[in-house]
Structure 1
Amino acid sequence: MSAGPPDAGPPDGGSSCAGPSRAADALHPVVLHHIVNTLCWPGLRPLQEAAVGPLLAGSDALLLAPTAGGKTEAAMFPLISRMTTAGWRGLSVLYVCPIKALLNNLLPRLEGYAGWTGRRAALWHGDVSAAQRGRILRGPPDILLTTPESIESMLVSMKVDHRRFFAGLRAVVVDEVHAFAGDDRGWHLLAVLERLTRLAGRPIQRVGLSATVGNPRELLGWLQGSGAGNRPGKVVAPETETPSVPVPGRTARGGTAVSPTVSPAVSPTVSPMTPPAVPPGDVELDYVGSVSNAAMILATLHRGEKRLVFCDSKRLVEEIGHALRARGVTVFLSHASLSADERRRSEQAFAEARDCVIVATSTLELGIDVGDLDRVVQIDAPATVASFLQRIGRTGRRPGSVRNCLFLTLDEDALLQAAGLLHLWGQGYVEPVTAPPEPRHVAAQQILALCLQEHRIGDRTWQEWWNGLGPFGAPAAPILRHLLACGYLDEDGGMLFIGPEAERRFGRRHFMDMTAVFTAAPEFTVLSGRKEIGRTDPALLTEEVEGPRLLLLAGRTWRVTYIDWPRRRCFVEPADGHGRARWGGTGYGGLSFALSRAMRSVLLGVDPPVRLSRRAAERLAAVREDAPGVVHPGGTVVTRNPGTGDVRWWTWAGFRTNTTLAATLEGVAVPGQRVDHGSVRLRDDLTSEMWRTGTAGAAGRLCLPDVDEKALNGLKFSAALPERLAVATLAARLADLDGAAAVLAEPVRWSVRS
């Protein structure tokens, strides 16, 4: 029987479960017995105790605590108690995670907890075999661990009687809820939950778990979906109540936010003169200048310890892994383009080893247990404070240890970004989680998926499946008309059903492309014999090379021996030398307003509240020496370089703000430019008079950015939208109107750079 991970229970001195005044006494007696006698816990953590009442009462809830704060137990102990007391039958609880590896990691714990009361837990995702799925369908478990895409696949599958299978559903737990809410997977999740609510014929309790959010009340309202404002609830904050950061277009809703320890959010515009308080933890910022130097430090520093190294690209994971292996370091890799078996072997070996390093992207950010970890190292910098908090939270779980993170930056841009991020962290800032605006393509997907699920839907009743959830109701009517006009849907006698165009575009593999709302870049599967190593960008297989074609994958070099173009596979064998790694991307992100302004503060003299290595301090001083021409404490700066004629407006306002400004200042900004987070290129013949004329009243006529048609390829199901709506959707996501208005209101200083 599972005893749970050591970090799930209470710290020394935790509250006793025995006293009659304790919330734990409301749990089912069998659950309480096993907490005391099987897990040997002296009590519950504050979060776990505070969650008992609201969850037993059926309230929706958002449970917030740092990584390893016992959130899973805080949700599941009351729900298993309620399940047992109320006599729930069949599949009654869904436990939803953003990644399969986290589900795999959680299964043994939840199997153990469910078994206390004679209940069962099971797993369903894309790597689960057909035989295992068949057993689940024949005898549904009480708790099913799954992903939103797998729920969708069950709803549209001819092999699943979804009405019978989901008839007893009572509650849904969404782990790492912030990872859903910030992108289109969140809209997909909400839409699927509304369809499940209609199938079950009752409200479904929604419980979100998260470690790092800056706007908990708004996130709870988002999770409640159509039930926000209608379902009873209250805010529970056992230790500190967290101020919320407003989300445009959303107000706080009913529900329960349970948060024992959450840092207060602050304004994203951080004053360069504000001395930050030093947050807890051992954090150091270093400048190393190259992958080779980073690998040398990793190979020699903290020998004998278990180190987790985060990189923010798969290519960099491969480069660091290869360099470490060349230095004789026991190293494992984890990223999304490695095969599931390869990742699983790496994670299991790392969990059992001691003197070793695992190099990973964000795949290991979300709470997966990798054993007794000593150190976290960050190569360059993540894009958000929330991500950093997840990563540093992997350490300091043993009694007497502290959370720690060493930043190794490879160039000056990364050094400045890391310093800005740590400055925000020192201010207690955590980004608000906001859903992407105008998810029209997700609405198109949902209409088609509903037709697959029900076979036929009424042309006047289809909106009822989403219970009034905004994007999927009346705003989706023009999308429905387009689907009919283009043959994605057919109509007969007032009933709608899948049309030939949907069959042609999305019908492959029994409409499996319909179950996910994100677009994966096309990749070739790489095999060594029959063993799958992972996947690679096809560009590496088509570009001209001299000599053998060498790939870098799983931290090793492989020579391509054969390419199976029709089946998108390539066969390899081990080789010496240094192969190449590459993966395309479809994102349209960039650094935020808050982080860009924090980087500006660093250039103006603010040091982050961490230890700076001598190399980092010297390089940061050199960067600041060049900064006076591009930053000024009194506002933004326009520079003209006499040698190149380059004219730039240094806003330090983030990618989306600068994209909006470039679109708005037609006749002043260079058209069609590639914008970055720091500046906007202006016409080389710009005069101060032209500037005054071009910017006058601009805050009142802000424009959405222009959209490259190629960028629409990254918006899955955009083909099922009228082109104007697809373009409008992407333009809205590229824009930051509030940031642009704020920048236009600031004073501008003109400077000539030599």
Structure 2
Amino acid sequence: MSGVVSKLRAYASFLAWLAGVYSEPWLSALALRLRKLSITARLRLTATLRGAEYPFSALHPAVRKAIRGRERELREPTPIQVLGIPRILRGENVLLVAPTGSGKTECAFLPVLHFLAAEREAGRLEPGVYVLYITPLRALCSDVARRLRSYVRSALGDGYLVGVWHADIKKNEKTKLAEKPPLVLVTTPESLEAILDTKHRFRKHLAKLRWVIVDEVHELAESKRGLHLLVLLERLKATFGIPRLQRILISATVGDPRRIARLFGGSDGKVRVVRDPGLRRIDAEVVLRRGRSAEELVDALEELMGKGSGYLVFVNTRSEAEELHAELEKRGLGDILVHHGSMGASKRREAERKFKDREVKAVVCTRTLELGIDVGSVERVFQVGSPSLPAYFAQRVGRASHRPGEPARGTLVCLDMNDLVESAAILSMLGRGSFGARRGPPPAMDLALRQALALVLQHGDKAGAQAVAELLGSLLSHVPASWGLGAREALRVLEERGLVEEREVVDVYGERARVLRLGGRFPEAWRKIGAFFTMIPERSELEVRHGRERVGVVDVVNLRLMKRGVVIRLGGKCWRVKELRGRFVIVEPEASDRFAIPVWRGGYVLAPQSVGLEVYRFLSKAARLHRRGTSLGEWRSGGVAFRLDEEARRGLAVLAEELSARGVPMPGPRRMVVDRVKASALGALDRFLGVSPEPRATTTVLLYPFGDYIANTLAALLWSSGSVSKVIPRSYGILVRHEASFDPLEYLLGAGRREVEEAVKSSPYVYVVAFELRRSFGYSRISEKTLEEDKLLREECVRQAKHRFYDVEGALRLLDWVRHGCISVSERLVERVGDLHPVSRYLFEAERPPAPAA
């Protein structure tokens, strides 16, 4: 009886999930269309009743004057401004979601400036910081401040400042801000933490704070940085007794705006989502340069760019940026620069300035230029390799062609069939307004521990344990996160580890009291105090310097390369290593065409299951169109039109033709395809895996839209079996090299929760997380022995690794559906390479499609 019940439960959950999968494309498109119709009607009605200039006409006269005085006059409000400004004027917390270039910054700031102008007119605008403008990047701060400064100066006069505060701002500039506080402070979450903890002279100026604007909120919402900011806002309110902060959030690419709105409300009440449903039109070209050398890739980019200028070339990692720039420079294209986060700040700013002033043709960059840094007009965006997520490409291509009425223009340069199919799937999702579901905020015990330390640091040995515990508990209660412990337990953990200690003091009246102060282990754990203020995952880095110039940083794994005389490439230039001084690499310029490119951890993005599902949805559609004789060269999805070049079209046509063949099953949400590869067909897969032939080993390919998180979980489970020598998880399938007597699918279906949990616990990602968390738990270094002995630390590392890299519940649910027959399994015995499923063969590069005709 229990078996029947469990089967019914499995089918019920599967059918509910499947209904969502099949309905999502047309429901998303329908919802987008209905929102457009509703908003269009509201805009027309508003214009009829209140005039074409509303809501600008509702603003203070000084603000209207500032609008008219702009170099690029805001003649008519944009849709997001019509929808958002009235709500902000009513005092509501809002999340503004609109395409790049739609005037979101003005929508957020002009109504705040309206209130400031009214306060000045009434004589109530006293010295102090009234507006906090938070950006996720230091590089954004100066651009935002320059933009806001022009409005403040026009509306209020020269006596009111817009200040910038972050780690790159010089000490004397910060001293000036402490002496004469700005009206608006532009900063980052990390700098706000530093101000609260240690900058006592400036901190007092935040007592008058009334508005908080958070730009690019999607960059913070998915990480501990977002939780960190929320706790800091609660600390600000508690420190100065601020009754309410009006919260204004800004984003162009939020996948789930309602979830972010719920997260960011805190103690200030509900956040309303104000969305402009008009997606920016995208005109994209998809080109395939499969199996080409770096020189041929440069040929392709040179041909695609032509003689124009104003191009941003995005790549996915810093190493790729340096390598591609080096190849372009070899070709004699000296008017192309490089830009990434491991370059020195001055070098990045120089690249931004030269691009804006059109002194260079293009910039090869990573995500550092994805957000709103002002680089002037961008003619076209190039993306080399798949962008992995719809939101990333939307943000990148949104930098192009800001002229009214023009679509954003982009070119995706695909390096293999995997890139081609994934890029096409991402463009299809963007067309219906789907940015892909993102994960919620992570577990954050380390943040709770660190905030307890921050309160002790802020109050300077003057607060008792009871007061700190109550305050910490109040702060954490307003932030919906998985803290893993309570406030009192957090203090107990810190005291046990020597990070805080309680001592008795006597006040001026002779009264004895017990207060908290930092413990003796704090200086050891937090030797680099700058790391205390940030929740950005710590990397062990070496700083590369030429004289006083900071060239950039490289991960410490490059230490074996940094020998005297070795030439490295960083920031688009070659440098010869002179010597190592502790954590500094001293270099000098070197003209050389032989060099090593450093490697950096990170840069790769995990795709959710929605991307894997879209890959197979796109392949199914391509196969249907091919059977009908329809050309696969041009595609349209909503406001996104994309064309495939001849090589991409031929590659997709070959794949579609094989998928259309009789008897070839198509993987999808209801079917998993399993290729069991016999020894005679292993050669090509061995080349892809980079392994030598083994007489007792074979390969199995599992094709299904897993998504990267579920694929990682199943890969960890297979690895734990001890019978697997190599496993490659991807969002659309898993390739497994294993002993001939081992059956990967049978092993997966025989595993339960305990086996899956144990596999994840033994993952190397747990040690990656442990390195990042070690200081919060009182360690300057971490070892396997420490991780084994410290149960609390290990459990938290496992919790956070599961959230960042795995989906245990999703994997268990999927295996349950396969066991109960909800998902059918099509098994195929592969005796030669040609018998491999087309997806296995092309996407895992076992065989290349024919070269295009000359």
What's the TM-score, normalizing by structure 2?
0.75
Report whether the alignment pairs 1:654 with 2:707. yes
> Relative to 1, partners in 2 of residues 1:217 and 1:691: Cα closer, same or farther, differing over 3 Å?
closer
Specify the alignment match of 1:556 in structure 2: 573
Specify the alignment match of 1:386 in structure 2: 391
Q: Distance in 2 between matches of 1:438 and 1:64?
A: 26
Q: Distance in 2 between matches of 1:179 and 1:694?
A: 35
Q: Distance in 2 between matches of 1:733 and 1:536?
A: 24
Q: Distance in 2 between matches of 1:539 and 1:694?
A: 35
Specify the alignment match of 1:150 in structure 2: 191
Specify the alignment match of 2:825 in structure 1: 748
Larger radius of gyration: 2
Larger fraction in helix: 2
Report whether the alignment pairs 1:104 with 2:142. yes
For 2:156, which of 100, 117, 137 is the aligned residue? 117
Greater shift, 94-103 or 675-684, is seen at 675-684
- Provide the secondary structure at the position in 1 that maps to 2:673: strand
Alpha-carbon offset, residue 559 of structure 1: 2.3
Report whether the alignment pairs 1:291 with 2:294. yes
Deviations 1:271-330 (A, max 9, x none): xxxxxxxx8321011112343222222223331231111111111111121222222321
Report whether the alignment pairs 1:315 with 2:314. no
Report whether the alignment pairs 1:374 with 2:379. yes
Alpha-carbon offset, residue 362 of structure 1: 0.7
Report whether the alignment pairs 1:26 with 2:58. yes
Specify the alignment match of 2:597 in structure 1: 581
Specify the alignment match of 1:497 in structure 2: 517
> Relative to 1, partners in 2 of residues 1:197 and 1:570: Cα closer, same or farther, differing over 3 Å?
same
Question: Is the 8 Å Cα contact of residues 665 and 826 (structure 2) preserved in structure 1?
Answer: no
- Provide the secondary structure at the position in 1 that maps to 2:265: helix
- Provide the secondary structure at the position in 1 that maps to 2:757: coil
Q: Distance in 2 between matches of 1:667 and 1:156?
A: 45
Specify the alignment match of 1:614 in structure 2: 646
Q: Distance in 2 between matches of 1:415 and 1:523?
A: 35
Specify the alignment match of 2:240 in structure 1: 200
Report whether the alignment pairs 1:139 with 2:210. no
Write the letter of the residue equivalent to 2:296.
N
Report whether the alignment pairs 1:345 with 2:355. no
Report whether the alignment pairs 1:728 with 2:728. no
Alpha-carbon offset, residue 579 of structure 1: 1.8
Question: Is the 8 Å Cα contact of residues 541 and 583 (structure 2) preserved in structure 1?
Answer: no
Greater shift, 695-704 or 176-185, is seen at 695-704
Q: Distance in 2 between matches of 1:363 and 1:667?
A: 37
> Relative to 1, partners in 2 of residues 1:226 and 1:700: Cα closer, same or farther, differing over 3 Å?
farther
The residue correspondences of 1:228-267 to structure 2 (distance < 5 A) are 231=269, 254-261=270-277
Write the letter of the residue equivalent to 1:752.
L
- Provide the secondary structure at the position in 2 that maps to 1:160: helix
Specify the alignment match of 1:517 in structure 2: 535
Structure 1 portions without partners, runs of 5+: 1-10, 232-253, 264-278
Specify the alignment match of 2:220 in structure 1: 180
Q: Distance in 1 between matches of 2:428 and 2:51?
A: 44
Alpha-carbon offset, residue 55 of structure 1: 1.2
Specify the alignment match of 1:447 in structure 2: 452
Deviations 1:594-642 (A, max 9, x none): 2222233344453664211111122334556787989524511222211
Q: Distance in 2 between matches of 1:477 and 1:752?
A: 60
Q: Distance in 1 between matches of 2:723 and 2:676?
A: 14
- Provide the secondary structure at the position in 2 that maps to 1:66: coil
Q: Distance in 2 between matches of 1:739 and 1:262?
A: 33
- Provide the secondary structure at the position in 2 that maps to 1:727: helix
Alpha-carbon offset, residue 672 of structure 1: 9.0
Alpha-carbon offset, residue 541 of structure 1: 4.4
For 1:65, which of 93, 98, 111 is the aligned residue? 98
For 2:582, which of 556, 561, 566 is the aligned residue? 566
Alpha-carbon offset, residue 582 of structure 1: 2.1
> Relative to 1, partners in 2 of residues 1:292 and 1:479: Cα closer, same or farther, differing over 3 Å?
farther
Alpha-carbon offset, residue 378 of structure 1: 0.5
- Provide the secondary structure at the position in 2 that maps to 1:578: coil
Write the letter of the residue equivalent to 1:165.
H
Deviations 1:676-722 (A, max 9, x none): 2221638645688x956862695899637233243224534465163
Q: Distance in 2 between matches of 1:37 and 1:161?
A: 33
Write the letter of the residue equivalent to 1:74.
C
Q: Distance in 1 between matches of 2:130 and 2:59?
A: 18
- Provide the secondary structure at the position in 1 that maps to 2:169: coil
Question: Is the 8 Å Cα contact of residues 59 and 114 (structure 2) preserved in structure 1?
Answer: yes
- Provide the secondary structure at the position in 1 that maps to 2:729: coil
Alpha-carbon offset, residue 134 of structure 1: 0.2
Report whether the alignment pairs 1:216 with 2:257. yes
Structure 2 portions without partners, runs of 5+: 1-42, 505-513, 623-631, 637-641, 680-696, 778-791, 818-822, 832-854
- Provide the secondary structure at the position in 2 that maps to 1:443: helix
Deviations 1:226-279 (A, max 9, x none): 44xxx2xxxxxxxxxxxxxxxxxxxxxx3221112255xxxxxxxxxxxxxxx8
Specify the alignment match of 1:428 in structure 2: 433
Report whether the alignment pairs 1:534 with 2:586. no
Write the letter of the residue equivalent to 2:273.
A
Question: Is the 8 Å Cα contact of residues 525 and 569 (structure 1) preserved in structure 2?
Answer: yes
Question: Is the 8 Å Cα contact of residues 664 and 698 (structure 1) preserved in structure 2?
Answer: no
> Relative to 1, partners in 2 of residues 1:29 and 1:321: Cα closer, same or farther, differing over 3 Å?
same
Deviations 1:408-460 (A, max 9, x none): 12233333332332232244321234433311122222222222112344433
* Total equivalences in the alignment: 696
Question: Is the 8 Å Cα contact of residues 311 and 361 (structure 2) preserved in structure 1?
Answer: yes
For 2:416, which of 408, 411, 415 is the aligned residue? 411
Alpha-carbon offset, residue 667 of structure 1: 8.2
- Provide the secondary structure at the position in 1 that maps to 2:99: coil
Write the letter of the residue equivalent to 2:320.
L
Question: Is the 8 Å Cα contact of residues 660 and 703 (structure 1) preserved in structure 2?
Answer: no
Q: Distance in 2 between matches of 1:595 and 1:307?
A: 27
> Relative to 1, partners in 2 of residues 1:341 and 1:668: Cα closer, same or farther, differing over 3 Å?
closer
Deviations 1:195-227 (A, max 9, x none): 112123122111110001121121111111244
- Provide the secondary structure at the position in 2 that maps to 1:126: coil
Report whether the alignment pairs 1:459 with 2:465. yes
Report whether the alignment pairs 1:641 with 2:677. yes
- Provide the secondary structure at the position in 2 that maps to 1:152: helix
> Relative to 1, partners in 2 of residues 1:29 and 1:632: Cα closer, same or farther, differing over 3 Å?
same
The residue correspondences of 1:38-57 to structure 2 (distance < 5 A) are 38=70, 40-57=73-90
Write the letter of the residue equivalent to 1:551.
I
Q: Distance in 2 between matches of 1:381 and 1:17?
A: 47
Write the letter of the residue equivalent to 2:328.
L
Question: Is the 8 Å Cα contact of residues 331 and 356 (structure 1) preserved in structure 2?
Answer: yes
Deviations 1:22-64 (A, max 9, x none): 3323211110122134453322212112222221222111011
Q: Distance in 1 between matches of 2:438 and 2:735?
A: 27
Q: Distance in 2 between matches of 1:342 and 1:16?
A: 51
Specify the alignment match of 1:632 in structure 2: 667
Specify the alignment match of 1:304 in structure 2: 308
Alpha-carbon offset, residue 513 of structure 1: 1.6
Report whether the alignment pairs 1:695 with 2:737. no
Q: Distance in 2 between matches of 1:129 and 1:523?
A: 23
Deviations 1:76-135 (A, max 9, x none): 100111123244431010111011111111221111111121332111111110000000
Q: Distance in 2 between matches of 1:700 and 1:283?
A: 47
> Relative to 1, partners in 2 of residues 1:285 and 1:475: Cα closer, same or farther, differing over 3 Å?
farther
Alpha-carbon offset, residue 660 of structure 1: 2.8
Report whether the alignment pairs 1:359 with 2:413. no
Write the letter of the residue equivalent to 2:446.
H
Question: Is the 8 Å Cα contact of residues 309 and 358 (structure 1) preserved in structure 2?
Answer: yes
Q: Distance in 1 between matches of 2:519 and 2:156?
A: 48
- Provide the secondary structure at the position in 2 that maps to 1:257: strand
Deviations 1:349-368 (A, max 9, x none): 11011660111111111111
